[in-house]
Amino acid sequence: MSYKFSAMILAAGYGSRMMPLTKKIPKPLIKINNITLLDNSINFLNSLDCIEIIINTHYKHKEIEKFLNKRKNAKNIKLIYEKKILDTGGGLINALPFFETDNLLIINSDIFWQKKNLLDAKVIINKYFIKKNPQLMLVNKDKAFGLNKDTGDFILKSNKISRYQSGDEIFFYTGLQMLNRNNLKNFSVKKFSFNKIWDFLILNDNLHGRTMKSYWYHVGDIQGLKIASRLDT
């Protein structure tokens, strides 16, 4: 079955943990084995057959604009420049008027996606359309690379998500989620984190998810970049 959904890449951040590399270029344009993080994200979303891709920008936004102008097959890509950075949640709310559908797949730009991750992403998409509820993709710490944390983000019981508490099995948020526009109607355009949206959905017993079966590579800092660069792409 073919589903109709829009996608968004969150790419407005400063990339401060990637200094000094991000002094000259925004983090989404950092290359891993000759492909930028942004190209990797776009290729990944196109492989999932989204109808459009929206990218929010702020830090060194002109560099991202120049880069996309040179890219082939960029007709389905829209750029939204934030004059003042709005963080992850605010960035999505600000982009809502530009989406063609109510079904929204959102990904972070600092993940190095691989072909094996496509199957996991398709599970999230399928569950979203079948169950009609928000879905987060999580990963067990054992399958996660580039993120050195001893605490988790969430726990998963019967496919429902709640917040991690000390002693729980460690799961990280992968930077991929699927939401409906209606899940966001209580939020307005201002600077805020996605955590506010997630906490609201958890409070209303309406946040679901699945865990990845494939390996996951986070490229949030120099160490994560080194690990991802060892991959055979």
CATH number of the domain at 6-228, please? 3.90.550.10
Answer whether residue 1 shows pLDDT above 70.
no
Q: Which amino acid appears at position 89 of this protein?
A: G
pLDDT at residue 73, rounded to an integer: 77
Residue 233's pLDDT band, with cuts at 50, 70 and 90, is: low
pLDDT (tens digit per residue) in 161-183:
999 999 999 999 999 999 999 99
Question: How confident is the prediction for the chain on average, in pLDDT?
Answer: 95
Answer whether residue 194 shows pLDDT above 80.
yes
pLDDT (tens digit per residue) in 65-123:
999 999 887 789 999 999 999 999 999 999 999 999 999 999 999 999 999 999 999 99
Over residues 193-206, mean pLDDT:
97
Contacts 24+ apart (CB under 8 A), 201-207: 201/134, 202/161, 202/162, 202/163, 205/160, 206/133, 206/134, 207/133, 207/134, 207/136, 207/160, 207/161, 207/162
Cβ-Cβ contacts under 8 Å for 121 (sequence gap 6 or more)? 44, 48, 105, 137, 176
Quick one: tokens of 168? 């729980």
More confident residue, 10 or 75: 10
Answer whether residue 41 shows pLDDT above 60.
yes
Over residues 51-56, mean pLDDT:
97
Residue 2's pLDDT band, with cuts at 50, 70 and 90, is: confident
pLDDT at residue 218, rounded to an integer: 97
pLDDT at residue 63, rounded to an integer: 95
Show me where the domains of the chain are located.
Answer: 6-228
pLDDT at residue 71, rounded to an integer: 86
Answer whether residue 232 shows pLDDT above 80.
no
Over residues 133-145, mean pLDDT:
97
Rounded (10°) CA dihedral 59, 16, 143, 126 = -20
- β-bridge mates for residue 145, sequence order: 217
pLDDT at residue 231, rounded to an integer: 87
pLDDT at residue 114, rounded to an integer: 96
pTM as predicted: 0.95
To the nearest whole percent, how much of the chain has pLDDT over 90? 94
DSSP three-state, residue 58: coil
